[in-house]
Amino acid sequence: MALAVAPGFVAGRAAGIDTVMVTGTNGKTTTTAFLVDLLAGVDGPEMVVANRGSNLPGGVAAALASAGGATSACFEVDEAYVPKLAEELRARVLIWLNMSRDQLDRSMEVRKLSRRVGDAGRFTPVLVANAGDPAVVANSGNFEERIWIAGAPSWRRDATACPACGGRIDFGGSSWRCQGCDLRQPEASYTIDGAGRVTGPGGKRLGRILLEVPGDFNLFNALAAAVAAGRLRGLRPEHFFPELSRVGGVGGRFTEWVLSGLPRQPKLTTYLAKNPAGWEGILDLVPAGASLVLGLNARVADGKDTSWIWDADLERLAGMVVIATGERAGDMAFRLEVAGCRAARVPDQLQAVALAGAGGGRVVYLGNYTAFFSLVDSLGRLGALRSREARAGVGS
């Protein structure tokens, strides 16, 4: 309503607020959660405004409408809207995490979308970004200051051809370069390894980041948040390292549950991922011997085209028994069978989780947007308690 009545609402409301935008195909919500926590520790919780998940202009406007006297803002922004919101928010820093294929039925091709994100440099001076992603590096030229971060190698199948000249990208060794032009991985100001050890400018060891949430990608996201918060508030990134361990599962992501309503009270971990890069990153976290449930919907928020599941390397699950669930459980079950899995099709998600947990032990659920949130909203019917609640005796 605010945007309809007052088209300049976002720009007017954001004036005087130090703003950081977070974008990229994967990791926006968790990185924003890290950033909010870090800035709250400096400015005070009541002085930080943020959106969570609602990353289109309407979500940003809704957050600003209740900003009060906020001094800083953290907004996750859908890639397609980054330049528009950068102009209106006059953000001081943009965190650009990665680029990969996503929601193929309605999203732009990766290269075109990357060029659009790069246009934000006309309005936002500082870029904190992924040195390992050629699509990010090739479109960073508009930013006055670029702070590069490097972590564990991630999804590369959308960057086999150079976004600048079309030549072949060579990913040999510890960095990448184009075989046809001068585009290459820039020297990173900050690097982080799989153990959370951070190296800064000049190879100086800055300390270690320890997180409650798993995954090398989250270590990278946490470092990006620390670097951006430091740049915004004139502090060294390592100042924030001890604070990062406070952020747990965000909206059910990376959350541990105890299914106390089922016999033997199995443990469940819930993960959200929405595209091939996200699914492959999460599948790396599945422990040996866990029962795996994969949820797939195809609503507007998910993207109605489910062909992306053929781009994810599900062949790594060959030989496993995997339960396919959700509104498009049939699509997923067929994909799993082709991958060499023994697939069970159980469209009802609660029934699927209950079946997976029938023998006790560990259950891992991975679903895309609406499948994931539908399950999380209904877990109470299985007597699910977050692990912290269960340990504290909540509901007993």
* Structural domain of 200: 2-246
CATH value at residue 275: 3.90.190.20
Are both 237 and 281 inside the same structural domain? Answer: no
pLDDT at 109: 86
Q: Tens digits of per-residue pLDDT, 375-394?
A: 999 999 999 998 764 444 44
Are both 242 and 263 inside the same structural domain? Answer: no
Q: Tens digits of per-residue pLDDT, 206-244?
A: 999 999 999 999 999 999 999 999 999 999 999 999 999
Are both 140 and 233 inside the same structural domain? Answer: yes
H/E segment holding residue 277: helix 276-283
Average confidence (pLDDT) over 251-264 = 91
30, with CB counted inside 10 A (0-12, 13-18, 19+), is buried
Taking a C-beta distance cutoff of 8 angstroms, is the pair 236, 230 a contact? Answer: yes
Q: Among 215, 246, 277, where does a domain finish?
A: 246
pLDDT at 247: 85
Question: Beta strand 291-295 with 384-386: parallel, antiparallel or unpaired?
Answer: unpaired
Are both 206 and 125 inside the same structural domain? Answer: yes
**pLDDT band for position 106 (50/70/90)?**
low
Q: With a cut of 80, say whether residue 143 has pLDDT above it.
A: yes
Q: What are the distances in angstroms from CA 297 to CA 58, 102, 199, 252, 330?
A: 24, 14, 41, 17, 10
Average confidence (pLDDT) over 180-203 = 96
Alpha-carbon distance of 303 to 278, in angstroms, equals: 15
Q: Tens digits of per-residue pLDDT, 269-304?
A: 999 999 999 999 999 999 999 999 999 999 999 999
Are both 222 and 303 inside the same structural domain? Answer: no
**Amino acid of residue 354:** A
pLDDT at 148: 98
**Amino acid of residue 379:** L
Q: Tens digits of per-residue pLDDT, 302-340?
A: 999 999 999 999 999 999 999 999 999 999 999 999 999
Average confidence (pLDDT) over 97-110 = 81
**Amino acid of residue 252:** G
Q: With a cut of 80, say whether residue 128 has pLDDT above it.
A: yes
pLDDT at 107: 64
Are both 152 and 283 inside the same structural domain? Answer: no
Q: Tens digits of per-residue pLDDT, 30-63?
A: 999 999 999 999 999 999 999 977 899 999 999 9
- Return the percentage of the chain with pLDDT > 70, whole number: 96
Average confidence (pLDDT) over 8-21 = 95
Are both 188 and 337 inside the same structural domain? Answer: no
Are both 45 and 157 inside the same structural domain? Answer: yes
**pLDDT band for position 395 (50/70/90)?**
very low
Q: With a cut of 60, say whether residue 122 has pLDDT above it.
A: yes
83 CB-near residues (< 8 Å, 6+ apart): 116, 117, 119, 120, 122, 123
Residue 1 token pair: 């309503």
Q: Among 246, 265, 296, where does a domain finish?
A: 246
**pLDDT band for position 254 (50/70/90)?**
very high
**Amino acid of residue 284:** D
- Return the percentage of the chain with pLDDT > 90, whole number: 83
Q: With a cut of 60, say whether residue 70 has pLDDT above it.
A: yes
pLDDT at 108: 67
Average confidence (pLDDT) over 12-36 = 95
pLDDT at 184: 96
**pLDDT band for position 154 (50/70/90)?**
confident
Task: List residues bridging with 258 in a β-sheet.
Answer: 267, 385
Q: Among 228, 246, 264, where does a domain finish?
A: 246
Q: What are the distances in angstroms from CA 306 to CA 114, 198, 264, 280?
A: 23, 38, 35, 16
Are both 210 and 76 inside the same structural domain? Answer: yes
**pLDDT band for position 163 (50/70/90)?**
very high
pLDDT at 251: 83
- Residue 345: strand, helix, or coil: strand
Are both 146 and 279 inside the same structural domain? Answer: no
Are both 210 and 328 inside the same structural domain? Answer: no
Taking a C-beta distance cutoff of 8 angstroms, is the pair 217, 34 a contact? Answer: no
Are both 50 and 157 inside the same structural domain? Answer: yes
Average confidence (pLDDT) over 83-112 = 89
**Mean pLDDT rounded to a whole number for the chain:** 93
Domain count, the chain: 2
Q: With a cut of 60, say whether residue 72 has pLDDT above it.
A: yes
CATH value at residue 109: 3.40.1190.10
pLDDT at 285: 93
**pLDDT band for position 246 (50/70/90)?**
confident
**pLDDT band for position 173 (50/70/90)?**
confident
pLDDT at 388: 61
